[in-house]
Chains A and B, each alone.
Chain A
Amino acid sequence: MAKHRGRGFSTIEYPTGMNQNGDPTQAWIKLKPDGSVDVFAGTVDIGQGSKTVHTQIVADALGVPYASVTMDNSNTDSSSICTGTFASRGTFIGGNAVRLAAEKVRERILDIAAKELEISPDDLEIADGEVLAKGAPERRISVGDVAAAATWSYGELISGHGTALKPLAEVDDDDGSVTIEPHSAISYAACVIDVEVDDETGETTVLRMLQVYDVGRAINPTLVEGQIEGGAMMGLGLGLLENSYPYYPSVEHRGEQFGSYLAPSLEDFPVIENVILENPSVDGPFGAKAIGEMANNAQPPAIAAAIHDAVGVWVTEMPATPERVLRALEEKERREPRREGKRVIFDEEISVAAVSTNGGEAYWGVHG
């Protein structure tokens, strides 16, 4: 009886935006008379930090201080449509909507500044809340003074709106093919997990998670790390702990309290190392792709592979509970793959062919 260490790997990809697209986010922006920026978008912040990220994008797209931007996503009367906070679409699609709205506002600021400074708008730029003549920064006017001029002299509400929408990608039902990209971008990640498996209790402890994520561009590295580490814990729950139906497919013995449902907690938190790569997307806001959902996908297969590396058994029904690991160890010989010619057949006992009364004809019998 001993504890054994093992290492497992995985490499994954994950799409940004709803599969097959067709999921708009719209945003609009107005300036108050002192140059304060009000952003309205319907993107719900579920705790991932989209309000922060959108505010950062608007601040830089306009060239104004972050602190001068207010983000309102509080209701459907003032906000335009956002299809929703899912499908890892907040930063890319929501971010593009607010970026495009900000670019329209920027054009209006430059037009009015051009009148005030008597310089062509093409020769102006905005930085830190000041509109400056390119090459002659002493000729300047603040965004606040531009907004005041718009309000009191020109009778204009400086505003702009933006829509991010990629058209629906139709899928061919016969072969699954598409003719336009069915996503906005793809993010990539690799994961290395070290575990220790106790062959007496069957318990697996994750010692270390090393994860590399290409997110295109980290708009806010702290929030990206928050997603990576929060996702890692959910991935650990998927790999080792959580199960709505402990005896699936039976519906009995479901956990109905925190005390009877095993979600990961701080005591399960291993050493986590994050590497963020930035391979910018061609059309995301400032090159961003996505990080949200994919952050819990890489760990379960790496954990299961690490268990095999440690004790030589494959657990392919999730989660890899102590009971499952122990059973796999006990039945190690019986579970060796069956070899038939060049076929190496694992897991036959749990296959459709074995469990169905007619070999799974309804599923495996598909023609065409």
Chain B
Amino acid sequence: MKAVGARLPRYDGLAHITGRTQYVDDVRIHGTLWTKALRSPHHHAAVRSIDTSRAEALPGVHAVVTAQDVPRNVYGHLEALGVPADEPLLAEGDVRWKGQVIAAVAAESEEIALAAVDAIDVEFEEREAVFDIRRAADPDAPTFHQWGPVYPHFGPHNHRRVRKGDVDRAFDEADVIVEGVYRPQAIEHVPMETQVALAVPEASGRLTIYSCTQAMYFSMGVVAAHLQWPLSKLKFVGGTVGGGFGGKVDTATETICALLAIKSRRPVKWRFTREEEFLVSSTRAPWHIELRDAVTTDGWILGRRTLTLHDAGAYARFSPYGVTKHAFHHTGAYTIPNVRFDGFVVFTNRVPTTAMRGFGVTSVSLAVELHLSRVADVLGMDPLELRLKNANRVGDTTGNRVVLHDPSTVAVTLAAAEAAGHEVGEEYRSMTSDRRTGDLLPEHLVEQQAPEGAHMATFDPTLTNGGGH
């Protein structure tokens, strides 16, 4: 029997639904200490002093860590991709969002840990905060990030840009220009399993970290970078996660557990409360997208002008990656010959935003698709006919010059129309994703078509260097 294509039950499904799967929170190690964090009560403040001596003196407290205990405190999630580091593991000098971790304690019980957090003395000097990305780069707006109001490292630019064709000419030649603003919101990941880790010092001198991460090697790299340890001294145990949706790429608890375990020489566990999961774990980013489409009365999209603002929260995390991905997909499933896109990563004093299902694209899909529904309405055209007409075809080139070799925009759209009983005209019913010819290759799209047979590198078999032995 072939396994591929079969409706096999989940490999681990029975264990999940009968409660027999071992998640991080189910691991029991003798002598484990509890962790609690001291978090910023302010959206933006200078930290004038931190005094942990009262907390350290409490009976049952085994370790307290602040920025000074971290071998390399600053970290950047995308350093491997050339994005500089900007975020401290433990706040140093200032706090930039309400809930930012300033210190953490490991104690014999949750109650003692909470009491110890209360016993840490911090002097703050509150500062003005910024929350509206539309105003964050205004001359009179408060700034707090060392890079200024927006992420400045897209090569020589402070924004991700896409430029193709002659947008001004497209707007001159258009019959109608439709302009709209789209604001997809922040949401929570809401996993059943909150952020959790357990760090166990081994007799060998290694550290075993039980983790709910979605990416064991990535998170191991994060911990190794903060500790300045080689990977040989770390072992991550995980692989089974109680819901992630992107939020568990953040490595929220592992590094602080590791620091406390090293300092206390005891196993240390940190499990976010549900309130922490909602309020201080990262969210999907809010976005602000302005689209202007230059269209003809018969429904061709000649050009698009896009301004995107991405609300990063207080630090960069994965935001530059998300905006680049967003830029690459800002024409959606359609071929638009003239585009000008500017996308900014804007810093605000809210919880840093992060990856979430559809990262960078969920936002632009909302904007593009809702905008097309509006364009169809303005033109008095069927919304699916507008989409089918402009849908990308084999050989078409995208805004960032990708040559498409197997688009199925036409196929999925026609299948949806048929299943829903939505009538489209005969000329649309017979459309396919084949290379454009005739009426589907108007003058403005001729240059968008790559030569027959031209295609870009797909999966490179020379890199699939699996050795037998």
Contacts and interface: CB of A to CB of B under 8 A. Distances in A.
Interface string B404-430: 111111011101110110100000000
A298 interface: yes
Contacts of A181: 402, 456-458
Contacts of B5: 217-221, 286
Interface stretch (A45-53, A118-126, A132-140, A326-334): A45-53
Output the residue of B9, B377, B459 with the most chain A CB within 10 A: B459
A63 to B, nearest CB: 10
B237 A66 contact: no
A85 B244 contact: yes
B198 interface: no
Contacts of A244: 185-188, 283-284
A348 to B, nearest CB: 8
Interface string A235-263: 00110001111001111001111100101
Contacts of B174: 342
B225 interface: no
B236 A279 contact: no
Interface in B271-287: 274-275, 278-279, 283-284, 286
A277 to B, nearest CB: 6
A349 to B, nearest CB: 9
Interface string B102-119: 000000000000000000
Contacts of B241: 44-47, 85
Interface string A141-176: 000000000000000110111111111000101111
Contact of B342 (A217, A294, A358, A366): A366
Nearest to A192: B420
B238 to A, nearest CB: 6
Interface stretch (B48-56, B57-65, B209-217, B438-446): B209-217
A74 B238 contact: yes
Contact of B218 (A77, A83, A164, A279): A83
A188 B464 contact: no
Interface in B348-400: 348-350, 355, 357-362, 365-370, 373-374, 377-378, 383-384, 387, 391-392, 399-400
A256 B8 contact: no
Contacts of A319: 185
Given A82-B217, A86-B359, A251-B43, A74 B134 contact: no
B321 to A, nearest CB: 7
Contacts of B150: 362
Contact of A52 (B11, B137, B242, B288): B11
Given A261-B188, A297-B362, A305 B405 contact: no
B365 to A, nearest CB: 4
Nearest to B282: A244
B238 A12 contact: no
Interface in A58-86: 59-60, 65-66, 71, 73-77, 79, 81-86
Contacts of A356: 134-135, 137-138
Contact of B8 (A220, A231, A300, A348): A220
Nearest to B154: A173
9 contacts: A9-B387, A14-B361, A79-B216, A243-B186, A314-B374, A344-B177, A346-B178, A362-B137, A363-B309
Given A243-B185, A255-B188, 11 more contacts: A9-B384, A13-B333, A43-B239, A44-B244, A59-B4, A66-B1, A163-B466, A217-B4, A242-B185, A347-B181, A352-B288
